Amino acid sequence: MGYTITQKILMAHCGKKALKPGDFIDARIDLCLGNDITAPLAIREFERIGAKKVFNKNKIALIPDHFTPNKDMKSANQCKVLSQFASKHNIKHYYEVGRMGIEHVLLPELGLVLPGDVVIGADSHTCTYGALGAFSTGMGSTDLAAAFITGRCWFKVPESIKFVYKGKLNKWVGGKDLILHTIGDIGVDGALYSAMEFTGDTIRKLSMDDRFAMCNMAIEAGGKSGIVEPDAITEKYVKSRWASAAGKVNKRAHKLYRSDSDAKYKKIREYDVKKIEPQVSTPYLPSNAVAVSKLKKVSIDQSVIGSCTNGRISDLRVAAKILKNKKVKSSVRTIVIPATQQIYLDALKEGLVEIFIDSGAVVSTPTCGPCLGGHMGILGAGEVAVATTNRNFKGRMGDLTSKVYLSNPAVAAASAIKGRIAHPEEV
């Protein structure tokens, strides 16, 4: 009997020689993640239980990235909980403002997640790391507290759905468009508690940044995880992390797993990507995906380029290519957020920050702020935003009467210029 990549990774972490979907397992965890919203809850449970020490100070990451830099006293006290816990238990991977970044971009950048790992995080977009060929998934804060103590977690082995993408991508189409189109096809519960396995010749040519964007949004289809089989592109990315000054100390053994040819899937869906143009998800669900050309009459008040989905350097390069020597419409607040300090620095060195500022945009320090209506871009009553974020639920970015349209960076930049949702070719 053949196994999927997800089953193989889980078998390696629970010591079993056979697994099937629906089995319950107790698995070893390679990395536990918490942020300034979810980790304080986990820490309180950790202390309420009376635990004296963490299972491994090197396998816990605490990233204050949602309401930081601290926007008020409440957020400051949340972050203080992380800081004190990290100090008390000598947590190696605690990253304060100045060193931090948006968690799901920072951890791969630092080489903390490797192919074949099992990673949990008290954040639903922990599924991002599946792009590296790891099994990664979101958990509740109490689950995180238990993992802090034991280094293990219970899972129900998910079924897998294979998504096969064929053909060459059209101009201005990337991973964000593929995943929005897919969610639009299957719905927000189309992959409920399933591992979404992305494959096909299109995926094999896709950059790591685009793979991260796809796996990041697996949760928006109800997925337990998203995953891409690791290949030469993956290995090159991993080795580049080790070559960096920050990543040298994190070099460790890893294994590349692949699905067997006779592995069983719940479903298999195929897509001809030549038929896909830049996508936009309309309020109030990511599954409301339509071609950008159908939305030319939607005026906007704000454009956000950033987040754990599209705040990487390749995303900023795309946006800068659109914005260079152009001005955003004076009525549109345009907010660009590099996802980590390193990405910010790279954008500065490449002249991207100058392009953004010259265009009339503002460039922020790394933060998740506007994505969840936290700060740095909250919408007022009736305001409309186009954003490269991952959710557009009612009230997600601010007032309950506001609206968010999800897009890729090229569409977000073009829309900022036109003052309405626009195809990149329009500018």
Our CA angle for 405, 186, 18, nearest 5°, is: 125
Q: Are residues 337 and 381 both part of a single domain?
A: yes
Q: Are residues 228 and 329 both part of a single domain?
A: no
Q: Is residue 258 part of a domain?
A: no
Q: Are residues 234 and 288 both part of a single domain?
A: no
Q: Are residues 43 and 134 both part of a single domain?
A: yes
120 neighbors 126 (Cβ within 8 angstroms): yes
End residue of a domain, out of 208, 238, 270:
270
Q: Are residues 113 and 202 both part of a single domain?
A: yes
Residue type, 126: T
End residue of a domain, out of 237, 270, 303:
270
Q: In terms of residue numbers, what domain contains 9? A: 5-251+266-270
Q: Measure the CA–CA gap between 131 and 138, rounded to whole angstroms.
A: 15
- Could you report the per-residue pLDDT of 360-415, keeping only the tens digit for each? 999 999 999 999 999 999 999 999 999 999 999 999 999 999 999 999 999 999 99
Task: Look at residue 70 and tell me whether its pLDDT is greater than 60.
Answer: yes
Q: Is residue 320 part of a domain?
A: yes
Q: Is residue 35 part of a domain?
A: yes
Q: Does this model's pTM top 0.95?
A: yes
End residue of a domain, out of 270, 304, 332:
270
Q: Are residues 404 and 315 both part of a single domain?
A: yes
Q: Are residues 247 and 288 both part of a single domain?
A: no
Q: Are residues 50 and 182 both part of a single domain?
A: yes
pLDDT grade for 245, boundaries at 50, 70 and 90: very low
Helix orientation angle between 39-49 and 141-150, rounded to the nearest 10 degrees: 50
Q: Is residue 360 part of a domain?
A: yes
Q: Measure the CA–CA gap between 255 and 116, rounded to whole angstroms.
A: 5
Q: Please give the tally of structural domains in the chain.
A: 2
229 neighbors 259 (Cβ within 8 angstroms): yes
**Which residue bears the tokens 């959710």?**
391
Q: Is residue 259 part of a domain?
A: no
- Could you report the per-residue pLDDT of 85-131, keeping only the tens digit for each? 999 999 999 999 999 899 999 999 999 999 999 999 999 999 999 99
Q: Are residues 113 and 221 both part of a single domain?
A: yes
- Out of 187-191, 248-252, 261-265, pick the least confident: 248-252
Hey, is 184 helix, strand or coil? helix
CB-based contacts of 372, cutoff 8 Å, min separation 6: 66, 391, 396, 397
Q: What pLDDT, on the 0 to 100 scale, is given for residue 247?
A: 47
CATH assignment of the domain containing 209: 3.30.499.10
Q: What pLDDT, on the 0 to 100 scale, is given for residue 249?
A: 52
Q: Is residue 275 part of a domain?
A: no
